[in-house]
Amino acid sequence: MKYTILIIYVTLLQFIFTGCSYVSDMVEGAITDRASFSINARQVGNNVVITWSETDLSTDFAGIEIYRTRKANDEYSGYITIADKDNDASLASGSTVTYTHVNANLTKGVYFYRVGLIHWDESPYDRTIENGYSPEYPDAGWDGTTNYNSHTDIDAISGSARVEIN
The whole-number pLDDT of residue 82 equals 92
Overall residue count recorded for the chain in this entry: 166
The whole-number pLDDT of residue 21 equals 45
Angle value at C-alpha 73, between 67 and 74, nearest 5 degrees: 70
Which residues, at least 6 apart from 147, have a Cβ–Cβ distance to it below 8 Å?
A: 138, 139
Cα dist from 69 to 15, 44, 91, 101, 159, whole Å = 36, 19, 20, 14, 13
pTM of the model: 0.69
- Which has the minimum average pLDDT: 30-39, 46-55, 138-147? 138-147
Distance of CA 42 to the CA centre of its chain: 18
Average pLDDT over all residues of the chain: 76
Q: pLDDT tens digit string along 6-45?
A: 677 666 556 555 554 444 444 444 444 467 899 999 999 8
CA 52/CA 30 separation, integer angstroms: 25
Cβ distance 117 to 157 under 8 Å?
A: yes
CA 35/CA 160 separation, integer angstroms: 8
The enclosing H or E element of 54 equals none
CA 40/CA 31 separation, integer angstroms: 26
Q: pLDDT tens digit string along 92-123?
A: 999 999 999 987 667 888 889 999 999 987 77
The whole-number pLDDT of residue 57 equals 93
Cβ distance 99 to 89 under 8 Å?
A: no
For residue 135, pLDDT over 60 is answered with: no
Residue 82's SS3 state is strand
CA 10/CA 28 separation, integer angstroms: 27
